[in-house]
Amino acid sequence: MKKKIEYLGRRSLRLKGWDYSSPHYYFITICTKDRQCLFGEITNSIITLNTAGEMLNEEWRNIPSRFDFLELDEYIIMPNHVHAILHIICRGEPCVRPEPCIHPRSLDDHIEEGEHEVRPYGTESGSLGRIIQAYKSITTHNYIQQMKNFHWPEFQKRLWQRNFFEHIVRSERELWQIRQYIFGNPANWSNDHENPSIITFP
């Protein structure tokens, strides 16, 4: 990807007029609160998950068993965030993929208006927000249990940031680009905005 995808500091918005339960591909990112690195480490551009990261991986793979209208695509669990593509599919009837609310363009052209921070709580059943809400809730519960039983590192107040970031995939080219971005994420860790070791300036 020619342009780095930025997530932090966005206003909390949703794309107006878009049904987030509609059949489509969605690129999502969820981050730990305060960017705590709790799920593993990266060495020589390879992510090695710890037991917490393995738990997250198992629960991610279990998502379609809870939402039968959902298919998993490319994803990766990083030390303090998860990138993933989710595919909401049709539910028992013929499906025509809906046209996006805005004109499809390359990912580089519409990053700024295409990324949204979404508040999932109180969202419609079967929506993207409800899926992420369930995943956060399950993994938080499991993490707390393991903190008590096996002394996993503690987190402050919340395991995850309150919201999540989503991007509606507009084209096959864009889908391919995002898959490559996810696949290459560990190799880019030294320059990743989510890496807490990177010093940022106001």
Write the CA distances from 96 to 30, 75, 168, integer angstroms.
Answer: 29, 25, 16
Element (H, E) at 82: strand 81-88
**Residue 92 in this model has a pLDDT that exceeds 80:** no
Question: According to the model, what pLDDT value does residue 73 have?
Answer: 97
| Domains identified in the chain and CATH numbers | 24-188 (3.30.70.1290)
CA angle 38, 44, 45 (to 5 degrees): 70
Amino acid (1-letter code) at residue 191:
N
Residue 189 CB partners (closer than 8 Å, separation 6+):
42, 45, 78, 79, 195
Output phi, psi for 196, to 5 deg. Answer: -70, -15
Mean local confidence (pLDDT), 113-119:
47
Residues 101 and 15 sit within 8 Å (Cβ to Cβ): yes
**Residue 16 in this model has a pLDDT that exceeds 80:** no
Range scoring the smallest mean pLDDT among 4-13, 58-67, 142-151: 4-13
> What is the pTM for the complete model shown?
0.79
DSSP 43-66: ETTEEEE-HHHHHHHHHHHHHHHH
pLDDT in tens, 150-189: 999 999 899 999 889 999 999 999 999 999 999 999 999 9
Q: What's the whole-number average pLDDT of the chain?
A: 80
- Euclidean distance between the first and the last CA atom of the chain, given in angstroms as a whole number: 25
CA–CA dist 69, 86 (Å, integer):
11
